[in-house]
Amino acid sequence: MAMSATDDLLANAARYAESFALGDLPLPPAKSLAVVACMDSRMDIFGLLGLQVGDAHVIRNAGGVVTDDTVRSLSISQHLLGTKEIVLLQHTNCGLLTITDEEFADRLEAESGSRPDWAAAAFTSLEESVRESIAKIKASPFIPRTESVRGFVYDVETGALTEVI
Per-residue pLDDT of 55-101, as tens digits, reads 999 999 999 999 999 999 999 999 999 999 999 999 999 999 999 99
- Please, what sign has the CA dihedral across residues 141, 34, 39, 163? positive
Contact between 161 and 153 (Cβ < 8 Å): yes
Select from 131, 148, 160 the least CA-distant residue to 87: 148
CATH superfamily of 25-164: Carbonic anhydrase (3.40.1050.10)
The whole-number pLDDT of residue 2 equals 80
**CB neighbour burial string for 1-22, b if at least 16 within 10 angstroms, e if fewer:** eeeeeeeeeeeeeeeeeeeeee
pTM, whole model, 2 decimals?
0.93
pLDDT tens figures, 103-138: 999 999 999 999 999 999 999 999 999 999 999 999
Task: Parse the chain into domains and list their residue ranges.
Answer: 25-164
Q: Is the pLDDT of residue 1 over 80?
A: no
